[in-house]
Each structure stands twice: as C-alpha cells, then as structure tokens.
Amino acid sequence: MHVSPTPLSVLAPLSFTPSTTAVGGNVFISAIVGLLPLIVFFVLMGVFKVKTHWCSLIALVLSIFIAVAAFHMPVGMSLLSATQGATMGLMPIVYIIVAAVWLYNLTETSGRAEDLKSVFDLIGKGDQRAQALIVAWCFSGLLEGLAGFGAPVAITCAMLLSLGMPKIKAAVVAMVGNGINVGFGAMAIPVTTAGRLGGEDPVAVAAVMGHMTAIIAIAVPLVLLFVIDGMRGVKQLWPLALAGGAAMAAGHFFVSQFSYELTAVSAALFSLIVCTLFLAVWTPRTPEDARTSVNETDRPDAGRISLALLPYVLVVVIIATTKLVRPLSAFLSSTDVKIPWPGIYGNLLTPAGEPASSAIYTLQTLSNPGTWIFVTGLVVAVVYGRLSSGGRFQTSVSQMLMVLPRTIHNLRLSILTIALVMSLAYVMNFSGQTTAVGAALASTGAAFAFISPTLGWLGTAVAGSATSAGALFANLQATAAAGAHLDPQVLLAANTAGGGLGKLVSPQNLAVATSALDAPDQDAEILKKVAPYSIVFLLVLCTITLLASTGVLGFYMP
C-alpha cells in the first residue's frame, strides 16, 4: 500500500551533516562565502541605511540560498531551521523584551518616572553622569547576572531615557556597560555551556574567565564616562569610575573561583554599594548642562519614593528568588518542555553521525525571566492603579493593563526584526556557515591564542547569545587548543568573554535597544557608535588571551 509523504517529510527528507569545507573543499573559501549574509546585513544597514527589518529579511534569504547552493543543505531543512530561529526569537527573547518595556512604560504612563528621577538625583548628587554610570554599570550587571536574554539592555535603556539622556547615547551607554557581564549572565549559563561542551570543568573555566574579565572591568566605567560626556566627564568623575570598576573587577576575580554562577550578581551588588558609599563622602564637580534638577516644592516623600522604585526593586527580588532558591529554581526548570524540532531533529547530524542537540527547542515558561517580569508588571499595575499618592498620580488598574497592548503595537517592527535575525542565525549555524568561519580561524595554529576570543565574538554577533557561541565553538576551541598545545581552559574562557563583547554589535541586541527606546531605524547609527568600543575591547581580550596562553600572565592566572 502506498503511503503519502507527510508535509514535513517532503520538506526535510534527507539527513544533513554540516561541513566546514563545503565550498570548493576549502575551509577559507567556505568561511568567506559563509560570512556573506552578515556582510550584506551590515553594509545594507550601515552604508545604505536600509530599514533593519528589510536588512534582516534580505540577509536571511541570502543565507538560505547559500545554505542550499553552497553548503548543500536540503531546501526544506534550511527553511525549517529558519522557523526554529524565529520561534527562539519570539520565546524567550521577544517575550522578555515586551515584559521589560511594559514594566518601564508603567512607570512612565503613571507619571511616577518623575519621582524616579528624584531618587537618582539624590543618589547621584544631581549629576546626570554619575546617575547614568550607576544604572548602566551596577544595575545592568545585576540584571544580567539574574536574567540575561536582552532584559538588562531593555530595562537599562529605558531607565537612562528617564534620566533625560538622548536616545542614541542611552543605547550606546547601556550596551557598552552590559558586555563584560554577559559571560556570567543568567546565572553564568554561557560559561557552564562552554565548559561542559569543551570537556573542561566549568568552575575552572569560570575562574580563568573571571581573572581575564577583571582587567577589562576596571576600564569600562571610564569608557562609559567618555561616551556620556567625553573627556570632561572622565576628568571630573574618574574617582567614581575607578571605585565602581575596581569593585566589579574584584567581584569577577574572587567570586568566579568559588561560586561562579553568582559572579555577575555579586560583583554588581558590590559595585553598587561601593559607588553609593563613595558618593556619600565625595561630591563630583558638576557643570550646569550635566546637572539634574527636581521640583523642590514637590520632592517625593518616602512613600512615593518606594512606589517609584517598586518596579525595579521588585523585579530584582522576584527574579533573584526564582534563580537563587535552589528548590524553587529546580521546580521551575522542571516545567521546561523539550521539543525536537520537526524536520530538523534526527536529520541534522553532528560529524560523529549523532542527532544534533541544537535542534531541540526548549520552551521555557515558569523558568523564563520574562514570566516573572510580567508578574512584576501585574503587581505594579495593580499597586499603581489603586494607590494615587494623595491624588498626585491618578490612574486605574485597567489603564495600567491597557499599556501592555500599546507596548506590543509599538514594538511590532522590532518583533519582526528579532524573529528574522534569529532565523538568520539558525540558518547560518545549522548549515555550517558560522562554523566554517570558526574552523578557518582555528587553523592558524599557535597564532590562534590571539584569535581565539574572536570566535565567541563572532558567534554572539550572529546569534545574539554568548550561550549559543559556546555551543557553536566550545568543542572547536578545545580541539584547536590540543593541536596547538594551548591551555583549553584559557581558550574556552576567552570564547565566552569574547561572546559578551560580540553582543555589543549583535543585530538582536541592536533591535532590543531600539525597541526599548522607541527609536526605530536607528540601528545603523547605534552600531556605528558602539562598534569601535566592541572591537577595542576585543583586541584587549585577544592580547590578554595571548599573554595568558604563553605564560606571561602565569603569575596572575589561577
């Protein structure tokens, strides 16, 4: 009896093993061809000012064509790879972004953003630059350590905007301040992934990475001041920047050695405490154009201050509880649903001939930070709707809830862009385009010690996730280390730290920032300003990796 093929079997009837030498049997030619979609994306966006969702769509179509014509991926499998990427883009990434932007919009729509400014004015002694530094460095690091997945950039951008910072500058400050903690983000999932897939103890890899990132962490706040206010800001506020940077660096250096999952959280909290105490005894010299002001006749009392801070304090407490209380965290994670992606899982094979685990999509519900940001939003909506602070902030619960559909509507193009970007990432990854670039870099022998962080940087630039970069390149890093007689722990640490720096130029991260700031089509402008910092930090990390691999930093490394 003849059995008609199912639609999925027609789409993806063949097994497929990605090859790093698919084009002309040469890894370097394959790498150049594999890079074309990204090159086209950035050229269209940066040079020709094409709208980002069109850049994403054109790059996606090109990547599918290259996957089929040059990397010999079945047509159906390339299309289904795009659907898995789009789903990943919507859940958890868009889910988290919508929740984070809604939470901020509740503060703005209720009118309590003015009280929030008063709080920061008090902490930062009326200096907008000091306030922005604390938000983009300390608060962002705390959110990154707890949640990750774009939430820190989304929330930090919105908070910087509420301080009166211009949109483009707010995006650059938020992204530059976020990068160094990404490797330890979301309870250090990126370094755990890299260690396990690279065959090394994640604790040892994390300790190495903490020593490497500590060097860069000292400098980042100074760079943030330069972005915020040029050399004037650096000259007038460098003591605060050094205090905050040294505190974050100490957290990376020490905590990574014994409780690496809490590295970013602990380091950011320590930096926040140090900055607050430092400002209690030191007053910056603040020019008039950098001074924030509040209405002295309407200074908020303790009750209004508490309500203004409620969204941000509550979101940290709730997410921290879901992540740090082990039994609760384990229960929430147990609700995750593993979905072997139809038409991909079982057909996409590793070089060993086994089904690729990357074709299993994990649907996170209760363990998803976005869920708890939404819960926070619901609590805040009810509280703001019922408490008017003596009639000062008149609103209702229903008005607060209606902010959510307006938020989704305003983010519609950003949602489309993120789905397309993630589709592009999955097609490039599953077809072998990204790994071809990695293999070409890994073939450089001993020089790979310097190039190693570039793999993590590239992987995150493509996929928007340092965890994905570890999944892509951890085994490649370990193999290259063995071939070139290098320390695999150093290279795995470099891959993960490099991933955090690559996030600065990731199209997904750019879309997150423009979404949070309601600044559509500003991706190219933000990229132009943020890319130099990403590249300079990457070169510094490459140098640190080379020195650590050759033993020059042997006295410093664990």
Most confident residue range from 6-10, 39-43, 148-152:
39-43
Continuous segment of H or E residues that includes residue 363 = strand 360-363
Residues 160-172: pLDDT tens digits? 988 889 999 999 9
The pTM for the full model equals: 0.87
Which residues, in sequence order, are CB contacts of 487 under 8 Å at separation 6+? 481, 548, 549
pLDDT at residue 7 tops 60: no
Query: What's the gap between Cα 96 and its chain centre?
Result: 12
Give 413 or 153, the one with higher predicted confidence.
153
Please state, in angstroms and rounded to a whole number, the distance separating the CA atoms of residues 116 and 541.
37
Q: What angle do CA 307, 312, 314 make, to 5 degrees?
A: 80
Which residues, in sequence order, are CB contacts of 156 under 8 Å at separation 6+? 135, 136, 139, 140, 143, 174, 177, 178
- For residue 13, the model assigns a pLDDT of 54
CB-CB contact of 1 with 417 (8 Å): no
387, with CB counted inside 10 A (0-12, 13-18, 19+), is middle
Residues 209-266: pLDDT tens digits? 999 999 999 999 999 999 999 999 999 999 999 999 999 999 999 999 988 988 999 9
Residues 505-536: pLDDT tens digits? 999 899 889 988 888 778 899 999 999 999 99
Query: What's the gap between Cα 164 and its chain centre?
Result: 24
pLDDT at residue 65 tops 70: yes
Question: How does the average pLDDT of the chain come out, rounded?
Answer: 90
Continuous segment of H or E residues that includes residue 68 = helix 52-69
Spatial CA neighbour of 252 closest among 497, 459, 466: 497
pLDDT at residue 6 tops 60: no
- For residue 138, the model assigns a pLDDT of 95
- For residue 296, the model assigns a pLDDT of 67
pLDDT at residue 10 tops 50: no
- For residue 5, the model assigns a pLDDT of 43
- For residue 3, the model assigns a pLDDT of 38
**pLDDT band for position 479 (cuts 50, 70, 90):** confident
pLDDT at residue 181 tops 80: yes
- For residue 312, the model assigns a pLDDT of 84
Spatial CA neighbour of 244 closest among 217, 225, 271, 266: 271
pLDDT at residue 316 tops 90: no
Terminus-to-terminus CA distance in the chain, angstroms? 66
